[in-house]
């Protein structure tokens, strides 16, 4: 009986995985292994896994600038997930390229140069990376939250993105949800976009813990594969995935760099930038990631 259950479960998982993969057949990362070979992050220590999370909307370039730069951390001992958003216009030293906006590091040298840039400026070690195709985000979100994600939609987002929605609280799906997390043409600009990204990622984490998603896990993995380029090893995926799906992971703690009152808006030869108090932000980031 146990053997039969294992066989049936394995066949179901394989079928679900293939079903997810078939729905994601247009993902652009299906055969891309170059960055995985170049990334030189150290192995995790003390049970804490740091992953560089990048949102990509490339239109054929080897490396476009990435509009979303986050550090995701998961502590395997305390089961605490953390999410740090780094503003794309943060003005830093990029190794070999001088002072630049931090998102240009990805354009110059992919995830590895961005890892070096974060380490040099903020003293934070990044173990792994994951580049997410924005178009794949829509399919992944719909699989995790088929009833949508409830958010407060402002009128100016509807006007700017030409969405067929009413302002106020709505359950957004797919492309509309993607528009919500990418919108920045309001008074808050990129700061508002970062807040919306953290809001939606936290809500998707909550949705992933619902019991029905345990059975969807193989399908979700199949959907993820072509849309995410990553070097996260299988063991780490299983540990983190199990904790999130079974509800062991706590609520997500978030931080934004730069901190309030720690930067100035300036204009340099690379355009409009956020000139930051580096030491203040470096200390805050290290304290946030090292705390339990």
Task: Give strand pairing partners of 160.
Answer: none
48: enclosing H helix or E strand? strand 48-56
Q: Is the pTM of this model over 0.95?
A: no
How far apart CA 190 and CA 268 sit, in angstroms, is 18
Whether the pLDDT of residue 61 is over 90: the answer is no
Contact call for residues 266 and 273 (beta carbons, < 8 A): yes
CA angle (53, 58, 60) in 5-degree steps: 140
14: enclosing H helix or E strand? helix 2-23
pLDDT tens readout for residues 154-191: 998 888 888 888 999 999 998 899 999 988 888 788 89
pLDDT tens readout for residues 101-141: 999 999 999 999 999 999 999 999 999 999 887 777 887 88
């Amino acid at each position: 009986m146990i053997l039969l259950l294992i066989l049936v479960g394995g066949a179901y998982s394989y079928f679900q995985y293939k079903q997810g993969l078939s729905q994601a057949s247009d993902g652009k990362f299906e055969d891309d292994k170059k960055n995985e070979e170049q990334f030189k992050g150290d192995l995790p220590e003390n049970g804490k896994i740091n992953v560089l999370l990048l949102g990509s909307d490339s239109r054929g370039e080897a490396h476009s600038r990435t509009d979303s730069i986050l550090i995701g951390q998961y502590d395997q001992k305390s089961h605490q997930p953390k999410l740090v958003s780094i503003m794309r216009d943060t003005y830093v030293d990029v190794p070999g390229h001088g002072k630049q906006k931090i998102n240009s590091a990805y354009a110059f040298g992919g995830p590895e140069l961005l890892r070096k840039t974060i380490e040099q400026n903020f003293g934070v070690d990044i173990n792994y990376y994951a580049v997410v195709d924005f178009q794949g985000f829509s399919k992944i979100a719909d699989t995790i939250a088929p009833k949508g994600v409830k958010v407060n939609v402002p009128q100016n987002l509807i006007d700017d993105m030409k969405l067929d929605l009413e302002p106020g609280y709505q359950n957004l799906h797919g492309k509309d949800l993607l528009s919500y997390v990418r919108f920045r043409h309001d008074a808050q600009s990129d700061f508002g976009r970062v807040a919306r990204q953290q809001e939606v990622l936290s809500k998707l984490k909550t949705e992933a813990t619902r019991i029905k998603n345990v059975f969807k896990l193989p399908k979700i993995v199949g959907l993820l594969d072509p849309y995410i380029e990553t070097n996260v090893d299988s063991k780490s995926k299983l540990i983190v995935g199990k904790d999130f799906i079974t509800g062991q992971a706590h609520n997500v703690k978030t931080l934004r760099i730069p901190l309030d009152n720690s930067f100035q808006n300036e204009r340099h030869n690379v355009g409009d930038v956020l000139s930051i108090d580096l030491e203040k932000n470096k200390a805050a980031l290290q304290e946030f990631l090292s705390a339990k």
